[in-house]
Structure 1
Amino acid sequence: MAATISSPPTVSLKLMIDPKSNRLLFAEAGKDFVDFLFYIMSLPVGTVMKLLGEQGTVGCIGNIYGSIENLDDSYILSAPEKEMLLKPMLTNYLPNAAFLLPSLQSSTHTNLYKCRSRSCLNVAIVPDSRCPTNGHNSGIHNSMYQNLTFVNPTYNDPNSVDDGGFVEGGVPYMIMDDLSVTPMSAKSIITLLNEFDVKDVGCLEEKVIAVGVNECVELLRASMQESKAVLSAVFLVKKESFIKSERIH
């Protein structure tokens, strides 16, 4: 029996477009897409550069990353320090938004370590590190070896069915072309249409697109450039990515 090949995960994004001016007014998204946008803020710069590296980096920051990557190890004080710069440390708290980016090969840690002293509040991510408080003493106190397990945040609401992330589910969100995010409401839509001087709502078009890993990498890249039309730059020029297009009645 042939193995079943699963499709890459995607989320839906609904674009609202004024065809007369060929302008994106806003996008409607759910929790999954907004969680992805907010998750970007938790990524270290080195991780972002690694994600964008295969398709070109952004600005001069990419030159710094390339310099570290190409610098001979004889000029680096220690191999772990070079690894730390190229693959920055991430905690193990990765919301569901992480699946919309390529597999992150950054160093992750699930444990913390401390020395034997009960009063010491120092922690380390590398076992057997020297304790800065008790390291001057002889004996076992100077070694941070006792394991402290890293615990993900929990929610106090026992009735919550939310599966993590950053924002509430079951709520539509309005995403502007510059990636500004606000909860969607009838008032916010009317205000926006007035700002864009849209007279005939019936002429507006919806385009529902599937957003996957490739699109999210492009969004990440575009968001780091000097542009206030990120969604337009990524989606409006890629007609083949549209999965549905219909006029608003």
Structure 2
Amino acid sequence: MAASNSNTVSLKLFIDPNSNRLLFAEAGKDFVDFLFSIMLLPVGTVIRLIGKQGTGCIGNIYDSIENLGNSYMLSGNITDILLKTQAFNYGVYKPGLWSSLSTSIYTKFYRCSNYKPKEDCSKYMANGFSWCPSCYKQMDLDFTFVNFRDKVGVGFVKESVTYMITDDLAVRPMSAKSIFTLLNHLNIKDAGDLEEKVIAVGANEGVELLRASMQTKTVLTAVFLGGKKESSIKSEPIH
């Protein structure tokens, strides 16, 4: 389904009103790309997004890095590298639903300023100020990546396909067979009893989906039927 604006994507929900459970959602490339991008998030960024509660001892590691401060780190930007780094490559995926993340947290890369042809300085880059293994000068020149978008496009999945997202975030191509198989598995006798809702998913919902995915196997139900406001939702029965 098409995005409603640059920072939201549209999602169609299919709900069983009898059990108040969200059975599956119909989604396009934009939402599936967002789901798959979760796999690129470093642990530090995940904890910063969803909070430290429910993350076990990993939260204590996060606190330790914060509390030690730069005086104990090898360089001043290591704290940000550990806690705020993202693995997104904008040539592959532009994370619109992660718009709450400041662009300043993206790791910067540096290269050596030595251009002598006999040196091997051009082979190295660092994600913070460091010293060149070849000439031992400081690596302090910004390294800029240039991404060329080819005919394959940007993101992870193809745009011409409609996808089914089940309550536990399993993703598969949408088809009559996949719908019938799921409803049969869930013992839903009449698809006409289901309700359909179309919603706009933004950064806040994206974070809640990330949080719920680590706490429950009924993620869509928890996020979209867990007391959320209905003001932006259209509801209509399936015919």
Write the mapping of 1:1-249 to structure 2, written as runs, cut at 5 A. 9-53=7-51, 57-60=53-56, 61-88=58-85, 90=87, 92-93=89-90, 98-101=95-98, 102-104=100-102, 105-109=104-108, 112-113=110-111, 116=116, 120=120, 122-125=123-126, 129-132=130-133, 134-135=134-135, 144=139, 149-152=144-147, 154-155=149-150, 157=151, 162=153, 164-225=154-215, 227-241=216-230, 243-249=233-239
What is the alpha-carbon distance in structure 1 between the residues aligned to residue 111 and residue 124 of structure 2?
Answer: 5
Structure having the higher Rg? 1
What is the alpha-carbon distance in structure 1 between the residues aligned to residue 171 and residue 220 of structure 2?
Answer: 12
Structure 2, unpaired ranges of 5+: none
The CA RMSD measured in Å over matched residues stands at 2.9
Q: 1:191 deviation in Å?
A: 1.1
Structure 1, unpaired ranges of 5+: 1-6, 137-141
**Cα pair distance change 1:88/1:81, threshold 3 Å:** same
Q: 1:148 deviation in Å?
A: 5.6
**Cα pair distance change 1:86/1:131, threshold 3 Å:** same
Q: 1:135 deviation in Å?
A: 4.2
Specify the SS of the correspondent of 1:68. Answer: helix
Query: Contact 2:119–2:135 (CA<8 Å) still a contact in 1?
Result: no
Q: 1:107 deviation in Å?
A: 3.1
Specify the SS of the correspondent of 1:66. Answer: helix
Query: Contact 1:52–1:217 (CA<8 Å) still a contact in 2?
Result: yes
Q: What is the one-letter code of the residue matched to 1:180?
A: A
Q: What are the superposed Cα offsets for residues 141-160 of structure 1, whole Å, 9 maximum, x if unpaired? A: x56577764222532x3xx6
Specify the SS of the correspondent of 1:79. Answer: coil
Query: Contact 1:47–1:106 (CA<8 Å) still a contact in 2?
Result: no
Q: What are the superposed Cα offsets for residues 165-215 of structure 1, whole Å, 9 maximum, x if unpaired? A: 211113211111111111111111111111112111111111111211111
What is the alpha-carbon distance in structure 2 between the residues aligned to residue 77 and residue 166 of structure 1?
Answer: 36
Q: What is the one-letter code of the residue matched to 2:166?
A: M
* TM-score (structure 2 length as normaliser): 0.81
**Cα pair distance change 1:238/1:8, threshold 3 Å:** farther
**Cα pair distance change 1:119/1:174, threshold 3 Å:** farther
**Count of residues in Structure 1 that have an aligned counterpart in Structure 2:** 228
What is the alpha-carbon distance in structure 2 between the residues aligned to residue 96 and residue 145 of structure 1?
Answer: 27
Identity of aligned residues (%): 55
Query: Contact 1:18–1:25 (CA<8 Å) still a contact in 2?
Result: yes
